[in-house]
Amino acid sequence: MDFTLRPTTPSDLELHVRHRVAMFADMEYGDEAGRERMAATFRDRLRTWLSTGEVRGVVAESEGRVVAGALLQFKEALPNPLSPQAVRGYLFNVYTDPASRSRGLARQMTIALLEVAKAQGVGMVELHASKHAEALYRSMGFEPTPEFRLILDEGIQKPGQWKDRR
């Protein structure tokens, strides 16, 4: 099966929303009601981000059907002593339909979006990887960082995937 990458367009909005819901369902992250709430908010934000260019993306097609997608956000960054850049890339929503997995699509989409970041002069790209995807990103040169989180709202559940990290 051959795959073709193409840039995301505004008409791919619902596709990326479905991918985000499926991604979190696959990771058993939250419940269905929470994913539905997330989808509504994500849809509104992504619509704006795609129209302003704050987010760019790629999708992989096979036989006229989109089977994978990924997004890159250009985010403001705090100044630090290592880099004068005020913008960083944030890779997110990397998702491949189950029937098309293990064919290198996540790697190809990530490479394509890293090229977009480089073309925009972005010198650093960050991401949050599922446990399943850690090996892929490490093989591409991504390194774990010392990020921590504290949940302040008792209504927010701690994701199960956090228990075995570090």
pLDDT band, residue 90 (cuts 50/70/90): very high
Q: Into how many domains does the chain fold?
A: 1
Question: Is residue 149 situated within a structural domain?
Answer: no
Question: Is residue 165 situated within a structural domain?
Answer: no
Query: Which whole number is the average pLDDT over 21-48?
Result: 93
DSSP character at residue 163? T
Question: Is residue 107 situated within a structural domain?
Answer: yes
Question: Is residue 59 situated within a structural domain?
Answer: yes
CA-to-CA distance for 96 and 23, rounded, in angstroms?
9
Q: What is the pLDDT of residues 18-30, one digit of tens each?
A: 999 999 999 888 8
CATH number at residue 116: 3.40.630.30
* pLDDT exceeds 60 at position 161: no
Of 24 and 156, more confident: 24
Query: Which whole number is the average pLDDT over 122-150?
Result: 89
Residue 159 confidence (pLDDT) = 62
Question: Is residue 67 situated within a structural domain?
Answer: yes
Task: Quote the distance between the C-alpha of residue 46 and its chain's center.
Answer: 12
CA-to-CA distance for 36 and 21, rounded, in angstroms?
8
Average model confidence (pLDDT) for the chain?
90
* pLDDT exceeds 90 at position 91: yes
Residue 16 confidence (pLDDT) = 97
pLDDT band, residue 70 (cuts 50/70/90): very high
Question: Is residue 136 situated within a structural domain?
Answer: no
Question: Is residue 96 situated within a structural domain?
Answer: yes
Residue 160 confidence (pLDDT) = 59
Q: Which domain, by its residues, includes 79?
A: 4-128
Q: If 0-12 CB within 10 Å is exposed, 13-18 middle and 19+ buried, where does residue 160 land?
A: exposed
Cα 69-72-73 angle, rounded to 5 deg = 140
Q: What is the pLDDT of residues 92-105, one digit of tens each?
A: 999 999 999 999 99
* pLDDT exceeds 90 at position 82: no
Overall residue count recorded for the chain in this entry: 166
* pLDDT exceeds 60 at position 165: no
| Percentage, residues of the chain above pLDDT 90 | 71
Question: Is residue 15 situated within a structural domain?
Answer: yes
